[in-house]
Amino acid sequence: MIRVVVADDHPLIRVGVNGLLARAGDIEVVGEAADGFAAVDAVATLRPDVIVTDIAMPGLNGMAVVERVVALGLGTRVVVLSMYADEATVRQCLSAGAHGYVLKGADGTELVLAIRAASQGATFIGSSVTEAAWREPLATPADAPGPRRGGAEALTLREREVLHLIAQGHTNRAIAHALHISVKTVEHHRTNLMAKLEVDNLVNLIRVAIKEGLVELED
């Protein structure tokens, strides 16, 4: 049996994934987590073969979960189950060590296939994820740019807009209203910003943004 931990901050998603995996026959869900820190703790305690994790979660975001699970050195593989298919997010997860990336809107069999592949050390990318996000060679640690410089260069125009509004002290709801997007989308952008700039709180996000010249003090 392939032992799996499911990490997602939405209970209904966890219930749905658990039901799907229970029907697979060769997969057993041995634990759940509702935030990033709990996800890493579950891996450390339960030592599953695979963890299925969302990207936008409280505490540690999904990308940080990937990095910390890999750093534990327990052999647990990571499959990301997300609603976001943008190239930067997919490539960053794969670069961090994920063995699978599946969209939440995909057919359930893709997640099962991704878990099976990951448990064998193979990489599985969902059919709905653009090939541009993973076909090109990923940077190796030796030739990768410095994390913060590379992260700053990787920011999208929308992420920069969100960053400016964050630096001005706007709430997620205010940013969503100003940019005509959902609060959930704002939360996703904040998660991406923190991951790309390698910070774990809002104060450090703004500090690094100023240092990198992404926002001005008068903003």
* pLDDT score for 203: 81
Average of per-residue pLDDT across 131-150: 44
Calculate Rg over the CA atoms of the chain: 17
Q: Domain-by-domain residue ranges, the chain?
A: 2-133, 147-211
Calpha distance 32→28 (Å, rounded): 12
Is 147-211 the same fold as 2-133?
no
Which has more confidence, 183 or 39? 39
Q: Which residues pair with 27 in a beta bridge?
A: 2
* pLDDT score for 217: 55
* pLDDT score for 6: 96
Q: Domain 147-211, what architecture?
A: Orthogonal Bundle (1.10)
Do the beta carbons of residue 112 and residue 83 sit within 8 Å?
no
* pLDDT score for 42: 96
CATH number 3.20.20.60 given to 2-133: no
Buried b (16+ CB within 10 A) or exposed e, 53-72: bbbbbebbbbbbbbbbbbee
Give the three-state DSSP class for 192: helix
Whether residue 146 has pLDDT greater than 70: no
152 band by pLDDT with thresholds 50, 70 and 90 = low
* pLDDT, tens digit (0-9, with 9 covering 90-100), for 26-83: 999 999 999 999 999 999 999 999 999 998 888 888 888 999 999 999 999 999 998 8
Count CB atoms within 10 A of the CB of residue 144: 11
Which has more confidence, 51 or 134? 51
Total-model pTM: 0.63
Which has more confidence, 201 or 78? 78
Average pLDDT across the chain, whole number: 82
